Chains A and B, each alone.
Chain A
Amino acid sequence: MHRRSLLKSAAALATLAVSRARAAEPKKIALWHIYARDFDMIHLGIKLFNEANNGYVIEPRLIPYVQINPELIRAIATDSPPDLVVINDPDIAGYSSQGQFLDLTDRVAKSARINASSFYKGPSTSDHWRGRRYAVAREMNALSLYINDDLFRAKGLDPEKPPATWAQVLAAAEKLTDPARRVFGFGFCAHQSEQSTFQFLPWLWQAGGGIDRLDQPEATAALQFWTDLVRNGFVSRDVINQQQSEVINTFLAGNTAFAVGGPWELPRFATEAKFQWRVAPLPVKDDKKIEASSLGGFHFAIPKGAKEVDGAFMVIEQMLDASIFPQGWNTGGILAPRSDIEIPSPNWPQAYKVFRTQMITATQRGPHPQWASLSKPLQQAIQEALTGSMKPAQALAAAAAKIKPVLAKTPL
């Protein structure tokens, strides 16, 4: 008896010791992200979370941007997923429709820190598949126009009144193009990748078209507009092999007078723009007056098989906290996906105002589980038209034919 109780208390002591050790040793949350620059707000979020001593600690793993999908797929294939991952918005539906992300609907509904109704519609739509939520937006961005004030003034244009319609874009692009000074009037990205889809969609929407109706005259009007700009030499032909950041590089170098770009480009303007610049909303098509922009941004998702689901969700809550976003904008040009967040005296105030307004008209891509199968035919059509190997209508009809069976299987 005596001996037994001794054993018992010894066992109790041992248990206590173990639980002590456990308390002292916080559980690790594997977070895979792509943010190499240390000013990105994710690093602030990680720091705040790890300092909170809430029984968890984030173990971040930095993955090169283009490798995030391959690495995540390898992790799924080998049954060794992280607890939390960031994912680009058009890719979410591919994973969630196949059950590879956890359903977060109930957790978000119950959360004291996340208010689902505060999210903008676009990112919220991207997060859902068939009415359930599988991801939480980390940020959002949209495309607007970057204007080189100095080049505008040099050609007698008023940068206070940036081009607001397609006709004005065309006229300004023509006027600003100056081969002697090696300046192109205008710039956008038509790279053979998701980036050209992202950049073309606003024009498609402004014309009243959609990716499910590429064989309609609205789509042709949009692609014809791009094609004319390139064919007339107002936009460099190199845009078909330039990524978005490379288009902005030519803008920053003073070789492009105005260009389409996102707010993530802003951090380098301070050191690299040797001229006066401003941001203007994307134009509207003169006869349609539809305001539109593309919505982008990365989202948090918890892969199926994650070990620390509770902890991972706590990280999401931390990353959506209002305290994160001032740094997000002021250092990285990142906008909150929550409409209830105002940043007091923001950096680049003029750009902030324009991009915030542009968010209202920004629309997400899809969501569609085979988004790439819709996007790639469009990319090809863009390249065919811009290189002159096909007429815009012809190229778009071919794209529409490829998209049709995909949409027949899973509609948008």
Chain B
Amino acid sequence: MRRPSWLLRLFLGLPMIYLLAMIGVPIVYNLAMSVQEVTLGNIAAFARPFVGLDNFTDSLADPIFRRVLHNSVVFVLVNVAGQVGIGTIAAACFAGGFPGASTMRGLLLAAWILPGLVVGTVWKWMFATQFGVVNFVLSALGLIGTPVHWLSDPATSMTALNIAHIWFGIPFSMILVAAALTNIPGELYEAASLDGAGPLRRFRYITLPAIAPALFAVACLVAIASLRAFDVIFALTQGGPLNSTNVLPLLSYQASFQDFEFGRGAAIGSFAFVMVFGVALVYVRTLKSEQPA
């Protein structure tokens, strides 16, 4: 480890200053709002009644908010596991280099460039109880007797949302993991092959440890991206039925732009901060175990 040079400081400083100006300032604006009473009447003014943590405590007292908070945690955990898990498996498989692997991988990316609202709408059709293709295929395969009320049953709606959202996110994890895989020295695999290790053992003992830091980074990003997911949910269910698929950003949007309670909207958004702060601390701790450069 050498002393940070002026160049490194500049390298770090430039993006940080840019980020703080472009996102830091808006975040402060929102945090300020979250401790104020903001109405349509005073939203243009900066001096607004200070209400302390009322917006936060009011939210916590609201059973709908507690349900939404719970949904958000479940949604994030399932999405991290699903997107990163499947993405890693896909990346590892495609790294095998069978014919057509790279073309297929290119095709997978297609899912990821579509607007979320379109993705959510397509899945809404596919999950429809009557005309939906999911039930159609499942019953054709004999897997279900009666149609599943995917989106109109609060017990299954979150599962449907998770499937749609994991689907949407897989390419992102896959391509990032694939990039990490490229940096593993090939000699490691050759040595392992000579030792007679099968593909699963090679994956477990060589690939996984080598890409672990990148996997953590990807998992963090997926967690954060899931925590602010909006478009897909808005198109799929708008949070229903019975708020069973409502999550923090959507609730915050509803508070601000449907109920016109901007302070509460900002406070709900800020809860996500606390959650990410937790994720960030864990992430930074994992870095301590990294070998010094």
Contact = CB atoms under 8 A, between A and B. Distances in A.
Q: Determine the interface band of chain B, counting residues with CB < 8 A from chain A.
A: 20 to 34
A238 B129 contact: yes
B158 to A, nearest CB: 13
B44 interface: yes
Contacts of B238: 191-193
Given A98-B39, A373-B259, A387-B152, A78 B44 contact: yes
Contacts of A78: 44
Interface in B129-166: 129-131, 149, 151-154, 157
Interface stretch (A68-76, A165-173, A259-267, A286-294): A68-76
Contacts of B237: 192, 241
B240 A383 contact: yes
B44 A77 contact: yes
Contacts of A69: 257-258
A370 B44 contact: no
Contacts of A76: 40, 43-44
A208 to B, nearest CB: 27
B151 A238 contact: yes
Contacts of B240: 191-193, 240-241, 383
Given A372-B260, A373-B259, A380-B242, A100 B152 contact: no
Q: Is the interface of A mostly helix, strand, loop or mixed?
A: helix
Interface string A240-263: 110000000010010100000000
B125 to A, nearest CB: 9
B85 interface: no
Interface in A144-199: 182, 191-194
B167 to A, nearest CB: 19
Contacts of A194: 258
A31 B237 CA distance: 31
Contacts of B262: 73
Contacts of B152: 237-241, 387
Contact of B260 (A94, A236, A238): A94
Contacts of B239: 192
Q: Is the interface of B mostly helix, strand, loop or mixed?
A: loop
A193 B157 CA distance: 16
A79 B45 CA distance: 9
B77 interface: no
Most buried by A among B149, B151, B240: B240
A98 B41 contact: yes
A99 interface: yes
A212 interface: no
A192 B128 contact: no
B241 interface: yes
B256 interface: yes
A236 B44 contact: no
Contacts of A372: 258-260
Interface in A64-103: 66, 69-70, 73, 76-79, 94-95, 98-100
Contact of A237 (B149, B256, B259): B149
A108 B43 CA distance: 28
A365 to B, nearest CB: 14
Contacts of A237: 129, 149, 152-153
Contacts of A99: 41
Contacts of B253: 70
A255 B242 contact: no
Interface string B17-33: 00000000000000000
User: Which 9 residue pairs are nearest across A and B when measured between Cβ atoms?
Assistant: A192-B240, A98-B41, A98-B40, A241-B151, A77-B43, A70-B257, A372-B259, A241-B152, A383-B242
Interface of A: 66, 69-70, 73, 76-79, 94-95, 98-100, 182, 191-194, 236-241, 250, 253, 255, 370, 372-373, 376, 380, 383-384, 387, 389
Given A239-B152, A240-B241, A389-B154, 4 more contacts: A70-B253, A70-B256, A237-B129, A250-B131
7 contacts: A73-B260, A98-B41, A192-B239, A193-B238, A241-B240, A250-B130, A383-B242
Interface of B: 39-41, 43-44, 124, 128-131, 149, 151-154, 157, 234, 237-243, 253, 256-260, 262
